[in-house]
A and B are shown apart, each in its own frame.
Chain A
Amino acid sequence: FFIKTVFLWLGGNQVSPLRPICDLRVLDHFVPEARDSEVIMVRSLCCRGGCGVMKSYFVPLTSVDFAVLEHIDVSHDAVEVQTGLSLLDKALSNAMKTVRNSPLANALDNNISNIHSLGQILHSLDLQVVVGLHFTSPHDSAPASTQTQEVSSLPELLQVHSSFLRGKVRLLLSAAPACQRQNS
């Protein structure tokens, strides 16, 4: 809650430049909460049978190829991450509507708040000039901004959500130039 308050205050103040938030412990706190949603979903009687409503969700691709991670000088990875966070935000919001009045609804609401916080963090890093980072091979036909996939269940959605945070979002934050300048 404290972090959310900070981010809201940061978001409300558009005049002064944001100070880069490079501490990965923030993200390391969001990741377990994403996993908690998966656990709650598994334990919830409501969702073992799919909660009665099967719905498709468009979610970002999460796969990361370390072999090609630094080989392509493309700066669209930051856009890919921001786009993916936006897709997850929408998908989780739609999923929360189907699990109202259940313990999973509170967990999903928490996950959505965390995604908003990550957006503020990325904004503070000024990632428009991120270079040297590409999550997938440039030979893929689909453009980076359209690299999405469709999932048909809530468990798959939550799994994508967790993988996206642990993978692309974390790699982008750890490789952000603003944070590299602070560490040096």
Chain B
Amino acid sequence: MTKMRSNRLKIVFMVCLAIVTIGGQHFESKVAQLLQDETEHIKCFVERKDLTCFWEERNHLHHQYTFTYSYENKNKMACAVSSLLAGNKTIFFCKLPKTPFFTTLDVQVLRDGRMLYTRSLNAENFLFLDPPQNLTVMSSGKEGQLNVSWLPPPLKYMDDSMIYEVRYAAEGSNMGKVEVVKVSTMLVLLGLQSDTRYTVWARVKPDGVAYKGYWSAWTEPVFGVTPPSDVDPLIVLLVLFIGLILCLLSLTVILSHHKFLLKKLWPDIPTPEHKFPGLFTVYKGDFKEWMSQNNGSMWGRSAHVYTEELPSPLEVLSEVSLTSHGMSQREEEEEKESERSDSGLTDRWRDPPHAHWLMEQLRALQENPESRCQSSLLQSHDTYVTLNQGDNEQQVYDVFEETLPLQTLFTTAGTSSLSTSHSDLGSLQQSLGSGRLSSRSSFEYPNHTWPHKGPGYAYMAVADSGVSMDYSPMSSSRIAELGRHRMYTNDYKNEICPHKWPLSGQHIKSGSESCTGPVW
């Protein structure tokens, strides 16, 4: 029992001694790696300058193993065999003294005097080096750079035949990069993140020209920190200066074209406020009040406004033959006054005498909408200026074509009457409401019976001076009276259905065929 225990202690001591004498700190890892990767029975590698060969066997400690080698036709030489326990297997190895390189080695393993394994190899092709020593990572002072350096393998005449791999990764990152370096023992890592901690590893292998071998194990990780980003103050100043210049240029352009830009970006919303002075400021939008306060003065003004801004699409040709017996004395007086005071029909801005009455009628209509369709007789005592070329039918056609100036009218035969009336149909439309205009000719009624169209139709007197046209409402009695004369009519049907316009003048009818009043 005691003898067995001592034998075991001797074996363990021998194994430990073998490890210390044969291999360095990486010996076991190299053996383990070759046991996994190498397929030959006899696995060999050169760690520094000596070749080590090993093989594994099951626990056959009772066998006698012999290792021999020869080269260049020399006699075989023996190598002392050592063993190492590895679980349920035993590792037998031999380290050749004075290993010959650049020649073919013939190695053999004999078990109990019998050939077990054999192999021919060149030792310079099985270099298995230790990881590079003194791996150092230092900051170069430049942004995104690190200087990495290490020592070559301590093998003279071999350091110029080595190739290195440097692996680096940011701390905490699984993505790393590998750089390959030939012969040189330093490397500058570029393109790194600023102010970041990096981990660096390195390993070595023969370049394969004169020597071949396996990749060494990776070194222990070494850390390095990249310098923080250093912004050049000159660049900052330049950027600020250029930015300032761009701002000034933009401001200059904007100021020089501010009106144009304002129109494009913030167009003015049209408002009719300037056309209705005081409506929104004084009367707070109460149109009735505004109208009541501005009825007389605003009527003509609004008429003027309507004349300017709301052109009437209605084209009315008027031709009427009026006789003096149809006119009242008052009308004649007013006509004379108008003739004296008016410079033709162009002076349309004098408030016509019937305008006030008309506004009252309109107000009454607004206050009492139910009477909209009730017949009401609008009396007008105004006189009218009519286009009259006498009873001559030819003259009627001439006027119908709107070629006769007003002056000519006054000089023609027959009676004529002047009346001030509204300048255009549009203004009347504004006060009378919407309606449709149709035209008829008295020639359609050869018996001079003018058909009264009933309450749905209103008649207007139209005076055309060749310069402008005046429209004025006419009563049904007046219409009937005028019906006896040859005339052209434009039937104007408005929304105020049964109105009968009182007429003081004669009915002037036009023969336009296409009259459509503007709808307000």
Q: Which residues of A contact B (CB under 8 A)?
A: 24, 28, 31-32, 61-70, 137, 149-150, 159, 163-164, 166-168, 170-171, 174-175
CB–CB A68/B102 < 8 A? no
Q: With A28-B209, A166-B124, A170-B210 in contact, is A61–B72 under 8 Å at CB?
A: yes
Q: With A32-B209, A61-B72, A63-B72 in contact, is A163–B102 under 8 Å at CB?
A: yes
CB–CB B210/A28 < 8 A? yes
CB–CB A167/B102 < 8 A? yes
Q: Which residues of B contact A (CB under 8 A)?
A: 49, 71-73, 98-104, 122, 124, 155-157, 160, 209-211
Q: Which residues on the A side are within 8 Å of B49 (C-beta)? A: 66-67
Q: Which residues on the A side are within 8 Å of B160 (C-beta)? A: 24, 174
CB–CB A63/B209 < 8 A? no
Q: Which residues on the A side are within 8 Å of B103 (C-beta)? A: 61-64, 163, 167
CB–CB B102/A175 < 8 A? no
Closest chain A CB from B97 CB (angstroms): 8
- Compute how far the CA of A171 lies from the CA of B102 in the bound complex, rounded to whole angstroms: 11
Q: With A149-B72, A166-B124, A175-B157 in contact, is A31–B102 under 8 Å at CB?
A: no
Q: Given A32-B209, A61-B103, A63-B100, output 4 extra A-B contacts at Cβ < 8 Å.
A: A24-B160, A28-B210, A164-B102, A171-B157
Tell me the nearest residue of chain B to A159, going by C-beta.
B104
Q: What secondary structure prevails in chain B residues at the interface with A?
A: loop
Q: With contacts defined as CB atoms under 8 Å apart, how many contacts are there between chain A and chain B in the complex?
A: 63
Closest chain B CB from A133 CB (angstroms): 10
Closest chain B CB from A171 CB (angstroms): 6
- Compute how far the CA of A164 lies from the CA of B122 in the bound complex, rounded to whole angstroms: 12
CB–CB B210/A64 < 8 A? no
- Compute how far the CA of A175 lies from the CA of B157 in the bound complex, rounded to whole angstroms: 8
- Compute how far the CA of A33 lies from the CA of B72 in the bound complex, rounded to whole angstroms: 23
Q: With A61-B72, A66-B49, A149-B72 in contact, is A167–B157 under 8 Å at CB?
A: no
Q: List 6 A-B contacts (CB under 8 A).
A: A28-B210, A61-B103, A63-B100, A65-B99, A166-B211, A171-B157
* One of A31, A137, A159 near B209 (C-beta < 8 A): A31
CB–CB A65/B100 < 8 A? yes
Q: With A31-B209, A31-B210, A167-B124 in contact, is A63–B101 under 8 Å at CB?
A: yes
Q: With A149-B72, A174-B157, A174-B160 in contact, is A167–B101 under 8 Å at CB?
A: yes
- Compute how far the CA of A167 lies from the CA of B99 in the bound complex, rounded to whole angstroms: 13
CB–CB B101/A64 < 8 A? yes
CB–CB B71/A63 < 8 A? yes
- Compute how far the CA of A137 lies from the CA of B100 in the bound complex, rounded to whole angstroms: 11
